[in-house]
Each structure stands twice: as structure tokens, then as C-alpha cells.
Amino acid sequence: MTSSVFTIHNHQDQQTAQLGFITLGIESSCDETGIGLYHSEIGLIGHQLFSSVEIHAEYGGVFPELASRDHIKRVLPLIKIVLAEAQFTLQDLSGIAYTAGPGLAGALLVGAAVAKSLAWSLDIPSLAIHHMEGHLLVPLLEEPQPKFPFVALLVSGGHTMLIDVKAIGQYKILGESLDDAVGEAFDKTAKILGLGYPGGPALAILAEQGNPGTFKFPRPMIDRPGLDFSFSGLKTFARNTFAKHPNKKADIAKAFEVAATQTLMIKCIRALEQTKYTTLVVAGGVSANLSLRKELNQMGKKVGANVFYPRQEFCTDNGAMIALVGHFRLSRGQCDTHHEISIKPRWNLEKLSQIE
Ligand code: KG4
Ligand code: ZN
């Protein structure tokens, strides 16, 4: 493995920095192009994000071909900006990490092709990163850091999972959604209420004005044992309630949010009981939701668990999380071959390799 010697212009500890391993992270799995730069001795030294969400808004959801085309436009300028802001150059990089899946195939191919081509031309290693491992580990950028082992609640637009995390790369899925992911349920319910795309944050804002007592939505699957989820029924409940009460949008948003967040909270208690762990890490786009955070913080106090989240900007997709996981793995010698550009639109988190 090569670790490049680089020039550094304005960091205080020039000598320490020169010993560092510098990882560039590229995220392009959906509608956000994210770039991150991680330095082994300093930590995260730069990140940039470009969201193509406005392009997709008129279609009411992500238009995959347009997302791919936008990644192609954005990825190199963003890499240039991140390197320039950190006062590094391409020659300073020690390795390049990219999201290889899960995600939209065309979008993933953009990040993979750029990462592999750059790594090949610079003669440095590249590595395929699992998008959900990025979400799962990005709270390690915060202080205080969560300590292993922990239960992770991953709540995004594509996944709802409870995971037993023993160490980096040692993941056992304890439960997941049997139908819609919770973020997807937020988005679909928002669409029913005419809130546009992406709906999650808009629904959360509307819910702030809602009365929690007007409607009571079910808490799906809490009567059944186990840690799986089902959120498609909540969206249907919202549709039926809205058809009868078209003037009660805020109350419906509130009832949906309370039901979704309480369901997540109940399953988190079960997962903590089952594993006997006292640390819960919550990540993915829906972890930005303040009502969910409030619910889980109260739960943590009640059951004696510490609850950790990423900072708001790292809840949704970003390049920092890919740079971080890339750093963990590349700096320990893991890497891809340069021979082919391949992606994994479907990828089982439990199949990832462990690192010491
Ligand atoms: O992790 P993410 O950026 O992308 C995926 O990997 O899917 O998550 C996006 C999801 C969307 O469904 C979005 O509506 C939801 O996270 N989301 C929220 C909030 N912010 C983002 N849902 C509820 N409340 C929020 N504040
Ligand atoms: Zn994501």
C-alpha cells in the first residue's frame, strides 16, 4: 500500500500531517453528490455536498437518469473544491473510497468510475464502501464518540434496520422493515398531504403545528414479538384519514410522526433489552427528525442507555461518511483491484469484512 508524502501549507503540525494517510470519499448513490477528505492524524479536513433534489422535485421522487447526469457534472468540481479548501492536491491522496452500493446503478457508476480512474492514474488504492456502513459509523466523527458494542437504528429513505454492532465490520441485522422504509413512509405521507419532495423534512415542519390528540394512528407490529418493522400501513392510514379530513393536514402529519417515532422507540427498547447493550446509535436521514430524537432521548434516560446521533448535516447522505469508512478500511490495507469498475446496487451489510 502506498502512503503518499505530500506538501502541506497551513496546518500547524507539518510533521504529523506528513505522516498521515489521506482518504478521499465519494458518495453518489442517490440524488446527492458528496465528497469528504479524512486525515488519519487530524480527522475530517473537508467535505462538500451538492444535492440535485430540486431537479427531482417536479417528478415527485428521484429520477435516476437525471441523478446520474448531475453526479457527472458535479463530482470533479466538488473534489477540486474540497482539496483546494483543505490546501491539499490530488498527489497528496493516499487512497480513494467510493459508495459501491446499495443505491441507483447509474448514480453509483459515476462515483465508482471517477474513484477508480483517479486511483489508477495516481497509483493509489481504491475501495468500494457500503453506503449504510457510512451512515452507521458517521456518528464516530462526533464527541463524545459512541463505544462498541452498540445497537444501531438506521433510518433512511431506503432502509429501516436495527443492527447489533460489535465492531467495525461486525454487523448482525436484528430487524428491518418488511415493506416501506420509515423515510419512504415519511415521503409518501408527505406526498399524500401535498407537501412535495423530499417530504420528510416538510412533514416534520408541518407536524410542529399539529395537535397530537386529534388522531391516533396505529403503532405497526408492536404487538408481535421480534424487531421487524412495517410502515406501509401508516401511509395508508394517513391517506384514508386525509380523505375524510382534508382540512386537518397538520394534525395528520403530527399523528403520523408520533406513530412512526414511537414505533421506532419501542423496537429500540426491545433491541437494547435483547442485546443487553447500553448504547444506541441512530443514523440515516430520518435521524435528523427532532421528534424522533426527543422520543429516543427520553427513552434512553428511562432505560439507562446513552443515545448518539450524527450532526444534522451528516444524517442525510454525505461524502464525509464515505471518507471515514474508507479511512478505517484503506489505512488497514483493504483495497479493490484496479482491473474493473463494478458496483453493488444490492449489498448485504452482514457480508462486509471485519477489520481488526
Ligand atoms: O439517508 P438519506 O439521506 O438517504 C438514503 O440513504 O435513503 O435519507 C433520506 C430520507 C428521506 O426519506 C427523507 O425524507 C428523510 O430521510 N428525512 C427526514 C428528515 N430529514 C430527512 N424524515 C423525517 N424528518 C426529517 N427531519
Ligand atoms: Zn443514505
Let me know whether 33 and 127 are in one domain.
yes
If you measure from the C-alpha of residue 93 to the centroid of ligand 1, how many angstroms do you get, rounded to a whole number? 31
Let me know whether 50 and 154 are in one domain.
no
Let me know whether 61 and 179 are in one domain.
no
> Is residue 90's pLDDT more than 90?
yes
If you measure from the C-alpha of residue 317 to the centroid of ligand 2, how many angstroms do you get, rounded to a whole number? 5
Helix, strand, or coil (residue 169) = coil
Let me know whether 86 and 202 are in one domain.
no
More confident residue, 229 or 356: 229
If you measure from the C-alpha of residue 28 to the centroid of ligand 2, how many angstroms do you get, rounded to a whole number? 10
Let me know whether 300 and 182 are in one domain.
yes
Q: What percent of the chain has pLDDT over 70?
A: 95
Let me know whether 240 and 155 are in one domain.
yes
Let me know whether 88 and 221 are in one domain.
no
57, 196 contact by CB (below 8 A): yes
Let me know whether 47 and 149 are in one domain.
no
Pairing of strands 150-155, 160-167: antiparallel
Q: Report the amino acid identity of residue 4.
A: S
Whether 254 is in a domain gets the answer yes
Let me know whether 168 and 275 are in one domain.
yes
For residues 123-139, average pLDDT: 98
The burial class, CB within 10 Å (0-12 / 13-18 / 19+), for 32 is: buried
At 59, the pLDDT band (50, 70, 90 cuts) reads confident
230, 190 contact by CB (below 8 A): no
The burial class, CB within 10 Å (0-12 / 13-18 / 19+), for 302 is: exposed
Domain count, the chain: 2
At 223, the pLDDT band (50, 70, 90 cuts) reads confident
> Is residue 216's pLDDT more than 70?
yes
More confident residue, 204 or 225: 204
pLDDT of residue 16: 47
222, 265 contact by CB (below 8 A): no
For ligand 1, residues with CB inside 6 Å are: 30, 156-158, 183-184, 186-187, 198-201, 204, 284-286, 288-289, 316-317
State which of 33, 50, 136, 156 you would mutate to test the pocket of ligand 1, scoring each by most atoms of that ligand within 8 A of its C-beta.
Answer: 156
Task: Please state the pTM of the whole predicted model.
Answer: 0.94
Question: What is the average pLDDT value for the chain, to the nearest integer?
Answer: 93
For residues 97-125, average pLDDT: 97
If you measure from the C-alpha of residue 287 to the centroid of ligand 2, how many angstroms do you get, rounded to a whole number? 11
pLDDT of residue 3: 32
Helix axes 232-244, 249-275, angle to 10 degrees: 160
Let me know whether 167 and 260 are in one domain.
yes
More confident residue, 27 or 221: 27
Whether 356 is in a domain gets the answer no
pLDDT of residue 159: 95
> Is residue 18's pLDDT more than 70?
no
Q: Residue 71's domain is classified under what CATH number?
A: 3.30.420.40
Let me know whether 86 and 184 are in one domain.
no
Question: Residue ranges of the alpha helices (H) in the chain?
Answer: 14-18, 53-57, 64-86, 105-122, 131-137, 182-192, 199-207, 232-244, 249-275, 290-303, 320-330
Helix, strand, or coil (residue 202) = helix
Helix (H) or strand (E) holding 195: none
> Is residue 314's pLDDT more than 90?
yes
Q: Which domain holds residue 273?
A: 143-309
pLDDT of residue 8: 39
pLDDT per residue over 190-203, tens digit each?
999 999 888 999 99
Let me know whether 294 and 344 are in one domain.
no
pLDDT of residue 5: 29
Whether 6 is in a domain gets the answer no
pLDDT of residue 17: 53
pLDDT of residue 11: 45
Whether 8 is in a domain gets the answer no
